[in-house]
Amino acid sequence: MKPLVHDPDNRLWLLSTPSSGYVLRLAPDDSPRHVAWGPRLTLEQALSVSVPSGGDSSFDGVIDEEYPAEGPARFGPPSLQVRFDGGARGVQWHYLGQESDGGRLSLRFRDDHYPLEITLHYRVHDDSDVIERWATLHNTGADHPIEVLRCDAAAWTAPPRDGYRLSHVTGGWSAESQLERVPLARAETVLTSRRGHTSHQANPWVMLDAGDATEEHGEVWGAALAWSGSWRIAVHHDPDGRASWTGGAGHEGISWTLRPGQRHHTPVFAGLYTDGGFGAASRQWHAYQAGHVLPQAGELRPVTYNSWEATGFDVDEDNQRRLAAVAADLGVELFVMDDGWFGGRRDASAGLGDWTPNAARFPRGLGPLAAEVRRLGMRFGLWVEPEMVNPDSDLYRAHPDWVLHMPHRTRTTMRHQLVLNFARDDVADWAYKWLDELVGQHDIEMLKWDMNRAFTEPGWPQRGADGERLWIDHITNVYAIIDRLRASHAGLRIETCAGGGGRVDLGILARTDQAWISDNTDAVDRIAIQRGYGQLYPARTMAAWVTDSPNPHTGREVPLAFRFHVAMSGVLGLGGDLLRWSEPDLSASRAMIATYKDIRPVVQHGELYRLGDDAVQYQRGDRVVVLVWRLTSRPPHQPVAVRLAGLEPGARYRDEDTGRVHHGHTLRTHGLVPPLPPGDYSSALVRLRRV
Ligand code: GLA
């Protein structure tokens, strides 16, 4: 079946992915209507799907909209809200035509009266069930601006079912990505960030199931937004059991103008249907990002050392050299110096914005340290926070108008800092220039791009009311700067960070290589954080450090092996004060890092199977890696067998450490007893190879 089939007589389109089908049509009034999203369909089947008659109740209104716009008899959460000159709102759809090319479809409409064109875009890939959607607005008039109050990327609809559940993540700083799986209220449920970044409190994806999906079985519908600023996903669950959700950039209450001649492209809101349960949904999302989102997905991420938890703001050439020497000896491949290397930075209160090396700490600049790191055989990386400024900085003293601010309003500081208005081209130019110079001068191989506070007083006084576009333009300029930096520095890789996991989404991951998913490095807390993260995002992006015990955030004491085994399920790094680690710990770390390098292709590029709450399995080709964590030992204090997934039932698998051979069938049905040592916080790693 071709990926796109158009039936002009019935004004219907059928999109097909390897195992899903998506159908839409035009109603007699030209408005686009949703027909079906689920298993693959033939055209004949697509034409036979029953569609709501619309009824003639004076209260219900249209319920099957493909892209709900305000207008006649539409009462659900709108994807599009516009106001024209003279006060008219909404859209009266007039179909202009379609364009299709391979897996790409664009449906063009205009308003019946006002100068607005709307294009709905769809893209399918032959190796993924993820369907990408976005929209374009175009003010085709010559005279009048159009006020845009909301312009979502897409609305998705799942068929009527009893008992929908909503899966999503909640949390906060140091507790990101906490998975929630709750009955979907018969109401509107809004997931949102009003912070100017993706947020720690919510992440722009949803998954719905009819209460019957498990890890490996059942239908799951979901969608994820490729946007790193404020966002909103509004889920609507109607009394007939139908669930739909619209999502896009920006939160409610902001508006901006589309000037005559101007076009606006929304970010992508990608959707996925699978009947393989939450596990298959995650694996599909991971494969989609590897194939179509991440810039260098085929690379293996290096083992990193980061200075933050060792030296805090007190970095200097001497302590970084000493840490680098130990890190290199352990097998670390990338040394990243964190905050504190620039301007008058001595703590969080000063220096942000002044991106030249602190002369007292680095009297000879960064060159000697970078050279020493390379002499030790590692790559060199650096922490930056380009979008921020401390009031106590030369930059702010010179450009107090460069920050987000409003007339007659206090400039609220958070972590002693203000947000630079990256929507301004002069600010964006300044940022690109110093970053380009810094990266070029030292051949920097990794930037940890941080963003440590939310937007407040989000104004741009010279722009007046239209300054609210900064919610969007700030982010598009951040994207443009990163894209330019990558284009001019082929060896540069970037880690996204916003006080830990405050900026992770498909938009930033299209231009970064990995994410710092939480400032919380406590291995026990990490299990839940990583579990929530992995629902959508792949292990190859999940930076995870082994740090000191007791943990500096939580005070919890956890054995070294457990800390390693938790971090080894992502992109392994070290973040502790290695100068104080004991000789036995250093030698155990050296061995664990070597083991990680052996399993790294399986973890970073394999398929993830979650085995209960405290074990994960990665599989790639003929290799399988299982990591098991046991928090508390309980009577009878014997390890319990863990059933593996995804293996070939007829194949045999040899344990690479013990030589023992297992049958795939019994590993799936009876499981594997993991070699957990006695006691609390015990953990195990098992490597299997198909024979
Ligand atoms: C944020 C990051 C940390 C560290 C500090 C430095 O909190 O998440 O990892 O880089 O900033 O100030």
CA–centroid distance, residue 172 to ligand 1 (Å) = 15
Measure the CA dihedral 313/317/320/325, to 10°: -170
Residue 219 Cβ inside 6 Å of ligand 1? The answer reads no
C-alpha dist (Å) from residue 64 to 10, 23, 24, 356, 596: 17, 12, 10, 56, 50
CA–centroid distance, residue 224 to ligand 1 (Å) = 26
pLDDT at 402: 98
pLDDT at 471: 98
Residue 309 Cβ inside 6 Å of ligand 1? The answer reads no
Q: Are strands 493-496 and 514-516 parallel, antiparallel or unpaired?
A: parallel
- Give the residue numbers marked as catalytic: 450, 519
Residue among 450, 516, 521, 574 to mutate when testing ligand 1 (max atoms within 8 A of CB): 450
Residue bearing the CA closest to ligand 1, atom 11 = 499
Residue 339 Cβ inside 6 Å of ligand 1? The answer reads yes
Residue 500 Cβ inside 6 Å of ligand 1? The answer reads yes
Measure the CA dihedral 526/529/532/535, to 10°: -60
What is the rounded radius of gyration, in angstroms, for the C-alpha atoms of the chain? 26
Residue type present at position 167:
S
Give the position, in ligand 1's atom list, of the atom nearest the Cα of 448: 10
pLDDT digits (tens, 9 = 90+) for 293-315: 999 999 999 999 999 999 999 99
3-state secondary structure of 617: strand
Structural contact between residues 557 and 550, judged by C-beta atoms closer than 8 angstroms? yes
Residue bearing the CA closest to ligand 1, atom 8 = 499
CA–centroid distance, residue 499 to ligand 1 (Å) = 5
Bridge partners of 117, per DSSP, are 110, 138
CA–centroid distance, residue 356 to ligand 1 (Å) = 19
pLDDT at 72: 81
pLDDT beneath 50, residues of the chain: none
Residue 495 Cβ inside 6 Å of ligand 1? The answer reads no
Structural contact between residues 589 and 564, judged by C-beta atoms closer than 8 angstroms? yes
pLDDT at 61: 80
* pTM of the shown model: 0.98
Residue bearing the CA closest to ligand 1, atom 12 = 339
Residue 497 Cβ inside 6 Å of ligand 1? The answer reads yes
Residue among 416, 519, 545 to mutate when testing ligand 1 (max atoms within 8 A of CB): 519
Residue type present at position 551:
N
CA–centroid distance, residue 309 to ligand 1 (Å) = 9
Mean pLDDT (the chain, rounded): 97
